[in-house]
């Protein structure tokens, strides 16, 4: 029943995503305006995040950026439905510019394994499809609470563009759950010279992170990426697909991680990680995922210290 429900959800998403992009863009802009008018959760969380990172900004500047953030978030949502349900070659044609691909190819050829850190900036689902088209890829993910939701993600994130006649596996994407078994699987893949993708700016579970600066704020940050890099010796690259025009055009960027990303000292590695994510987000603040409660402290901390305590209504 779970698989059937997930398949039905996929068909509904596919039918919706067949609308012309001009219509989807208009719907996304209307959704963003509705979030703002109703003061929906997306608007409240994004507003609080902008207050936290820019307390010195004039209110009018924050309000204008909030509108841009919500519009970008809504467009990313509907873009993703389209990307999930359209042929991958058609999607990849949306990438108008590619930067740093030679460094990516060289890192793979070195055979030490590659960790791709993909922040929540631009459209990370398009990035996943580009990576899968270039190499077998393992993606670390945190499963949703719903079994149907997890089954749906497995359908839409699968990529079967491999070429068995060339010795390539038919399914080039391995989706790895973010648990102990999954982490061991990532180490095995990296030791074999494989490629893994990680979203580095998710709130880790208690005990799996440390506080590190992000936009000048102490932010609970995953230690997993640094541990993987330090213990495996794999190369670490940051990658993102940034929207460059309103006609569904993107620029792909890949660049080496800063020094210290694989340091044995967790404080050093997480500081380097957050510095890289912040630099990417500052390229275009509206394209970063500010609707996520990134500045929650350790999950075990007192609720009174929660900077989002007034956004729960």
Q: Which residue has the higher pLDDT, 254 or 205?
A: 254
| Diameter of the chain measured on Cα atoms | 60
The first and second tokens of residue 268, run together, are 């050093």
- Nearby residues of 42 by Cβ (< 8 Å), 6 or more positions away: 35, 70, 73, 291
Measure the CA–CA gap between 87 and 89, rounded to whole angstroms. 6
Question: In this predicted structure, what is the pLDDT of residue 163?
Answer: 44
Q: What kind and span of H or E run contains 106?
A: helix 101-110
pLDDT tens-digit series, residues 150-184: 888 888 877 545 444 444 445 588 889 888 899 99
Alpha helices in 1-100 (DSSP H): 2-17, 21-38, 41-53, 59-85, 88-92
Measure the CA–CA gap between 221 and 306, rounded to whole angstroms. 16
Question: In this predicted structure, what is the pLDDT of residue 143?
Answer: 75
Question: In this predicted structure, what is the pLDDT of residue 178?
Answer: 83
pLDDT tens-digit series, residues 256-268: 999 999 999 999 9
Mean of pLDDT values over 104-114: 97
Measure the CA–CA gap between 3 and 8, rounded to whole angstroms. 9
b (16+ CB within 10 A) / e for 125-138: bbbbbbbbbbebbb
Measure the CA–CA gap between 48 and 31, rounded to whole angstroms. 19
CB 92 within 8 A of CB 131: no
Measure the CA–CA gap between 89 and 23, rounded to whole angstroms. 22
pTM, entire model: 0.91
Measure the CA–CA gap between 52 and 65, rounded to whole angstroms. 13
Question: In this predicted structure, what is the pLDDT of residue 300?
Answer: 57
DSSP 292: S
CB 24 within 8 A of CB 78: yes
Question: In this predicted structure, what is the pLDDT of residue 151?
Answer: 86
Strands 195-198 and 137-141: parallel
Phi, psi at 176, each rounded to 5°: -110, 125
């Amino acid at each position: 029943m779970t698989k059937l429900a997930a398949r039905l959800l996929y068909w509904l998403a596919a039918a919706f995503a067949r609308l012309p992009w001009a219509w989807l863009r208009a719907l996304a802009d209307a959704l963003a305006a509705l979030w703002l008018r109703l003061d929906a959760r997306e608007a409240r969380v994004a507003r609080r995040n902008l207050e936290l990172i820019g307390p010195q900004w004039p209110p009018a500047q924050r309000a204008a950026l909030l509108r841009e953030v919500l519009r970008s978030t809504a467009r990313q949502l509907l873009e993703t439905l389209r990307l999930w349900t359209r042929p991958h070659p058609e999607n990849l044609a949306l990438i108008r510019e590619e930067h740093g691909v030679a460094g990516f190819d060289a890192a793979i050829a070195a055979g030490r394994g590659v960790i791709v850190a993909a922040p929540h900036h631009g459209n990370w689902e398009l990035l996943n499809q580009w990576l899968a088209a270039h190499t077998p890829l393992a993606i670390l993910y945190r499963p949703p609470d719903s079994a149907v939701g997890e089954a749906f993600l497995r359908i839409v994130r699968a990529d079967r563009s491999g070429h068995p006649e060339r010795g390539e596996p038919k399914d080039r994407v391995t989706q790895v759950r973010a648990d102990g078994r999954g982490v061991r699987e990532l180490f095995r893949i990296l030791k074999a010279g494989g490629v893994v993708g990680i979203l580095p700016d998710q709130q880790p579970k208690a005990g799996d992170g440390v506080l590190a600066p992000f936009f000048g704020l102490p932010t609970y940050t995953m230690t997993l990426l640094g541990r993987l890099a330090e213990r495996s010796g794999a190369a670490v690259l940051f990658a993102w697909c940034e929207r460059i025009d309103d006609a569904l055009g993107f620029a792909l960027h890949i660049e080496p991680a800063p020094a210290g990303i694989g340091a044995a000292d967790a404080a050093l590695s997480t500081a380097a990680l957050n510095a890289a994510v912040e630099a990417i987000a500052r390229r275009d603040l509206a394209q970063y995922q500010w609707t996520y409660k990134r500045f929650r402290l350790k999950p075990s901390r007192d609720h009174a210290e929660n900077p989002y305590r007034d956004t729960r209504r």
